[in-house]
Structure 1
Amino acid sequence: MMKRLMLLLVIAIGFISAVNAQTDAKAKTILNEVSKKYRSYNIVKADFSLLIESKQTNSKDTQQGTLYVKANANKYKVSMTGQEMTSDGKTLWTYLKEEKEVQVTDVNTSDEALNPAKIFTIYEKGFKYLYTGDKKVGAKVYQIIDLTPTDINKSYFKIRLTIDKAAKQIASALIFEKNGNKYTYDVKSFVANAKVPESIFTFDAKKFPGVEVVDLR
């Protein structure tokens, strides 16, 4: 269960987070534009795929998911095969589908805490970033930025962002872990100002008969 939870946290940082990279003005400008546009939205919906490449087992696995984020609040919902994470900014519900269990915890609001609500702004603290150039794919131009955590104790050492230059949106992120594993996160669709109710950011156990609620607060 913990592995799956940590995986979702890795996904969160993957939306926004090089070796010996220096903070560079062009990279900062690009990231600020992405953040500014994101903050102009209310609720964002993104469908994504995640390719997990394990060096230890020499295997690959692909998962699909959907993320909802309230842009200017600490609220989010992540749905993936087997698991959902929902937060209203104060409480976090982690629903483990196979176990028919939902774990309830307080949200960690410290600067060190990583969650999907920070996906477009996490670079603002604790990272160096470097613009490495543009890449053209078909008719689209993508800007490539490498980010490195200033904390050398992190489990990952670099995240490579691919940003749609025209849309000012993150198209993909490649996460490099120190153990050799890689996570490629691709945004398949992005809906700004998605029409969903605020209640999507809370977990109503009554809608899930038979689910055990484990309060860890």
Structure 2
Amino acid sequence: MKKIILVVAAIMTFMAGNAQSSKEAKQLLSEVSSKVESYENIVIEFKYGLENTAENVKHETRGDVSLEGEKYLLNIMGTTRLFDGAKLYTIIPEDEEINISSHNPEDDQDISPSKMLTFYNNGYKTEMGPVQDLKGRKIQYVKLTPIDSNAEIKEIHLGIDKQTKHIYNMIQTQDNGTKITITVNSFKTNQPLPQSLFQFKESRYKDYYINRLD
């Protein structure tokens, strides 16, 4: 996400137009954030794609995540990640192994599931992008550029459904050329989720090796 600049009278018009674009982008993101925060919980099914043409790498998979406040349950690539608000549990059935660690938000540099729908609120410059018609839906893109010039992320294009104000997809490009695309296939809100969904039951994993990292 890198920015823009351009002769006397025209410069005033250009700068005013660019400022308006940024203001419009921030307003749209604010509406999306408010919509997300109004829900008691959110259940999402998504497609995850990773591609680096220079390295001849291309991978696609599907996953799902249930979110309630900071708590989440994420299933992807045969692994389950559960955050109960204090501890993070990574459950790997293939290896019959579970990693348990305390969660420190200050150390979390990733876009975790609990931040997936609001990560853009801090640390990014914003700019309105194009509107695309995808499957009959008007998707407005917002371009996000990290304020930190040393960030591994080069830019993010966030696709927002203009009608629902829900995030449709996120296209993240890294400095090494890797492109990560997350597309929302199903977005459900205020579901009857049992509280036990976000609770770790050690008794269910009697044969697993449990690695307590702290």
TM-score, normalized by the shorter chain, greater than 0.5: yes
Q: 1:74 to 1:141 in 2, by over 3 A?
A: same
> SS where residue 31 of structure 1 aligns?
helix
| Count of residue pairs the alignment pairs up | 198
Residue of structure 2 in register with 1:82 after alignment:
78
Q: Shift of residue 203 of structure 1? A: 2.1
In the alignment, what sits opposite 2:171?
174
Question: Partner residue of 1:207?
Answer: 204
For structure 1, the 5+ residue unaligned runs are: 1-17
Deviation at 1:137, TM superposition (A): 2.7
Q: Structure 1: which amino acid aligns with 2:50?
A: I
Residue equivalent to 2:150: 153
Cα shift at 1:85:
0.9
- Between 1 and 2, higher relative CO (CA 8 Å, sep ≥ 6) is seen in 1
Larger displacement relative to structure 2 (37-46 or 49-58): 49-58
Relative distance call for 1:149 and 1:159 in structure 2 (3 A) is same
CA contact (8 A) 1:55 1:179 kept: no
Q: Percent same amino acid at aligned positions?
A: 29
Tell me, in whole angstroms, the C-alpha distance in 1 between the residues paired with 2:79 and 2:135: 35
Secondary structure of the 1:110 match is helix
Q: Could you say which residue in structure 2 is the equivalent of 1:184?
A: 181
Q: CA RMSD in A?
A: 1.8
Which whole-Å CA distance do the structure 2 matches of 1:37 and 1:156 have between them? Answer: 26
Inter-partner Cα distance in structure 2 for 1:49 and 1:190: 12
The structural deviation recorded for 1:54 is: 2.4
C-alpha distance in 2, partners of 1:116/1:191? 15
1:99 to 2:95 alignment = yes
- Report the structure number with the largest CA radius of gyration: 2
Are 1:125 and 2:122 an aligned pair?
A: yes
CA distance 1:81–1:112, shift in 2 (3 Å):
closer
Q: Does 1:52 align with 2:50?
A: yes
> Any unmatched runs of 5+ in structure 2?
5-17
* Cα distance in structure 2, aligned partners of 1:65 and 1:137: 21
- Deviation above 4 Å: which 4+ runs of structure 1? none
Partner Cα distance (1:179, 1:96) in 2: 28
Q: Taking structure 1 as the reference length, what is the TM-score of the superposition?
A: 0.85
Closer/same/farther in 2, CA of residues 209 and 168 from structure 1, 3 Å limit: same
CA distance in 2, matches of 1:130, 1:153: 20
- The one-letter code matched in structure 2 to 1:145 is V
| Distance of aligned partners of 1:138 and 1:122 in 2 relative to their CA distance in 1, 3 Å threshold | closer
Contact 1:90 1:106 in 2 (8 A): yes
Cα gap change, 1:134/1:118 in structure 2, threshold over 3 Å: closer, same or farther? same
TM-score (norm 2): 0.86
Instruction: State the secondary structure of the residue aligned to 1:168.
Output: coil
Match of 1:39 in 2: 37
| 1:176-203 Cα deviation digits (max 9, x unpaired) | 0111111111100010012211222222
Structure 2 counterpart SS, 1:98 = helix
Aligned residue in 1 for 2:160: 163
